[in-house]
Amino acid sequence: MTWNTSVDQAERGSAGAPTTATAPTTPTAPSLLTQPRVCSVARALEVVGERWSLLVIREVTFGVRRFDAIQAATGAPRAVLTERLAGLVRAGVLERVTYREAGSRTRWEYRLTPAGRELAPVLSALRQWGDRHLAGEDGPPATFTHAGCGAPVRVQHVCEAGHVIENTREISRKAGPPVTS
């Protein structure tokens, strides 16, 4: 079965001031969902959606790997950080390994697993949105460039046939639980 529900259709009329839609936009229908929708977005948020989780991953991505350094860079309370790190290790996003510098005692550090590394587009997408909509007067606090050519990096939708998708209206949803109005 296939519900081909156009994502993000019908944004007409979103201009005026005392915002009032003049045309009926939402057909009346009983809710078909008796359970909350389960989707990969929800599942992913169970892993990385808690407060501090993505900031921790941001730091580890930057190469900040020790507890105290992650704590300082994120500002997370230590007890919460302990819990988040343990959760991310349990989820397979980070791994906790010992390391020893010459002439120093054994310490712990946290590293991204391959699965953790694949969260990079999530961070990039958030950063891109924040840069665009929440940056201060002096522009984005940091910029990211392609090491090969020096050009700025961004994330974008593409299809597997190689088309770049500029507008979310070009994306269709196939299968999955019904969309209710």
Residues that bind DNA (CB under 7 A): 28, 50-52, 66-69, 75-80, 82-83, 85, 96, 103-109
Q: Which of the choices DNA, a second copy, none does residue 83 contact, using the CB cut-off of 5 to 8 A by kind?
A: DNA
Q: Which of the choices a second copy, DNA, none does residue 87 contact, using the CB cut-off of 5 to 8 A by kind?
A: none
Cβ count within 10 A of residue 56: 26
Closest contact distance (angstroms) between CB of 79 and a second copy is 16
- Region of 56 (left: φ > 0; alpha: ψ -120 to 50; beta: rest) is alpha
Rounding to the nearest 10 degrees, give the CA dihedral for residues 79, 82, 88, 89: -160
Closest contact distance (angstroms) between CB of 87 and a second copy is 14
Q: Which of the choices DNA, a second copy, none does residue 1 contact, using the CB cut-off of 5 to 8 A by kind?
A: none
Residue number with CB closer to DNA (4 or 26): 26
Q: List CB contacts of 38: < 8 A, sequence separation 6 or more.
A: 177
